Structure 1
């Protein structure tokens, strides 16, 4: 059973304020930092970003200081079992769950329930705290699984991208790319953007443009031939794209004197 001893939602202290409890607070403390904090541990100082969280276990020193503005939400509570063991999540270390808005909402609801004085308040608080820890644990588990999947997929994407850019004249339609890594279109786009901060279309067009510029500079080729050799569907499409990127038509670019 989780018993809430005290809680605050969006609590503000004086700027640069410090909390230092060498022997802890005697109970569990869950914090969501709403402003950057310096968190002191045994061997280092962590400067957090907004919405960083930490779960202090009983007896663990609690030492943190606002970088400037001091604002946080927190729960002091007792429990029959360590919630970090029941719902796997870090303890006594800063972490960043991506469901920050959900955590914020649940702490707000906990504060309302804690001060409500309504019948079955303890049961409602226990249920909300269980939901809080469960949601954090699930999200962290999902994030870990996604990172592991990304680690396995990155070499495949890297190899595929290199092949696409090296052989940019080929027809690299999206279906073909997705089949090569066995992913749906939405998943493929998500990972490609995550890995390369771009899209396949943008990378492919850039590679084709660079190849076209090289051919126009060094080969006695017609514009139509260059367009075909670089994988453009038509000379008109090639000319429009080349002019928008380079400021002149392909033929004019080819006639420019070279150093």
Structure 2
């Protein structure tokens, strides 16, 4: 099993198909899907055959089928399903594959483009038949997603995607492990430079940024250095001095005001840090400008 964590992935739920389905009889050949399928049995029941197992899916149950898994479904009586096909990961290719691919003698799984199977990640295991603590909420969300998606206008389409994202979050919360461990969280810190720039005048600390990243100070500092090539406090100082240079060249603000705007405790501290980096005092930059 891969040691890769689902928490380090970019997730972007996107509905491909949503509908309320009615069958007098439902028998599918062996097949795979290229995305993720969420079904709710509103009326009736059916038999799901998958990976050598057989499940009797009854009224009131949710099932979740993942990409690339050969499965077959059969019902000999009337059946009503709420059906949702969705992607979890951004799809980058120009054309999406068919949602459902029959499995025959010429089937080549490597030739079919599909979403990743979540079994590739070490910290998530979703069963075929779901048991969710907020069952009624999940049903209402699925009904709302289907209703909005089928209205076929931009605002309803967007609302349907919101419902899909909330349902995906509910499933992931229920079936992921060690969700609070910092090593399972994304180590991407691309948001930090913007966070720093908006707070240059504030006494920003490494502890505060680590807390926002849900990491310990040492873990945050390690990953920040790996991503940006310097310690967080050094990067923050660089941003402050670069902004100070911009103010020196483009405004007539007094040095005290510039020091305050860039988060320095005093003009003396500002001038000292500026000279250490640029080799000249800030007043010299002002004269040149």
Q: TM-score per shorter chain, which class?
A: 0.3 to 0.5
TM-score normalised by length of structure 1: 0.45
Which of 1 and 2 has greater Rg? Answer: 1
TM-score normalised by length of structure 2: 0.41
Higher helix share: 1
Larger relative contact order, structure 1 or 2 (CA cutoff 8 Å, min sep 6): 2
